[in-house]
């Protein structure tokens, strides 16, 4: 059964890139354009992994990660979260990990690395390659 990746990202170009890359590998990609939308989708839908942009228009990615980890939906407490940020400003990586993200990647995101990291958490059946 296909794995569902929720991509919380306000930049349409990045979203498109991630979608194209992951769908080609057989993942189902759900899109959220801001933090609150991301949270409500994570609460209400089947999600297996979250790609979380740290720089979001409403609540930032750190806060989204903290709320996910504190969620009443048990799965969200341990769901893999990959943090993504455009500017590696001081302490971004530390803050992302402290907020409960599992891995930190800074833009530009290498597509090979994205594949590898998503697959490390969610091995695919290789369908769609």
Partner 1 sequence: MANEPAIIDGFSFLSELECSGCGEEYSSREIHTFCPACQSPLLANYDLDAVSSQVDRDAIRHRQIGMWRWHELLPVREPRNIMFLGEGDTALLSLPNIGTALGLSNLLMKDESKNPTGSFKARGLAAAISKAKELGIERVIIPTAGNAGGATAAYAARAKIHALIYMPKDTPRANVQESRMAGAEVILVEGLISDAAGMAGEKARAEGWFDLSTFKEPYRVEGKKVMGYELAEALDWILPDVIIYPTGGGTGLVGMWKAFAELEALGWLKNPKRPRMVAVQADGCAPVVRAFRAGASFCDFWINAHTLASGLRVPKSFADALILENLRDSNGIALAVSDAAILEAQRELGRMEGIFAAPEGAATLAALKVLVHQRWVQPEERIVLFNTGSGLKYLDQLDLLV
Q: Is residue 50 involved in binding partner 1 (CB under 8 A)?
A: no
**86 contributes a contact to partner 1 by CB under 8 A:** yes
The contacts of residue 37 (CB under 8 Å, 6+ apart) are 8
Phi and psi dihedrals of 48, rounded to 5?
Answer: -110, -20
Q: Does residue number 123 form part of the binding site for partner 1 (CB under 8 A)? A: no
Beta carbon nearer to partner 1, 44 or 108 = 108
Of 86, 123, 114, 104, nearest in space to 22 by CA: 114
Tokens for 28, please give them.
Answer: 């189902």
Asked if residue 62 binds partner 1 (CB under 8 A), the reply is no
- 90 belongs to the binding site for partner 1 (CB under 8 A): yes
Which lies closer to partner 1 via its Cβ, residue 24 or residue 70? 24
Q: Is 116 in the site for partner 1 (CB under 8 A)?
A: yes
The reply on whether position 40 binds partner 1 by CB under 8 A is: no
- 101 touches partner 1 by CB under 8 A: no
Three-class SS string for 32-73? Answer: ECCHHHHHHHHHHCCCCEEEEECCCCCCCHHHHHHHHHCCCC
**Binding residues vs partner 1 (CB under 8 A):** 86-94, 97, 103-106, 108-113, 116-117
């Amino acid at each position: 059964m296909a794995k569902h990746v929720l991509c919380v990202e306000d930049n349409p170009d990045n979203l498109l890139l991630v979608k194209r890359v992951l769908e080609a590998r057989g993942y189902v990609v759900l899109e959220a354009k801001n933090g609150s939308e991301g949270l409500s989708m994570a609460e209400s839908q089947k999600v297996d992994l979250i790609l979380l942009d740290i720089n979001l228009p409403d609540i930032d990615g750190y806060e989204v990660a903290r709320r996910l980890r504190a969620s009443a939906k048990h799965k969200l407490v341990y769901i893999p979260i990959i943090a993504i940020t455009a500017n590696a400003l001081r302490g971004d990586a530390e803050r992302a990990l402290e907020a409960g993200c599992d891995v930190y990647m800074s833009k530009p995101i290498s597509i090979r690395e994205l594949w590898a990291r998503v697959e490390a958490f969610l091995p695919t059946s290789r369908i769609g390659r």
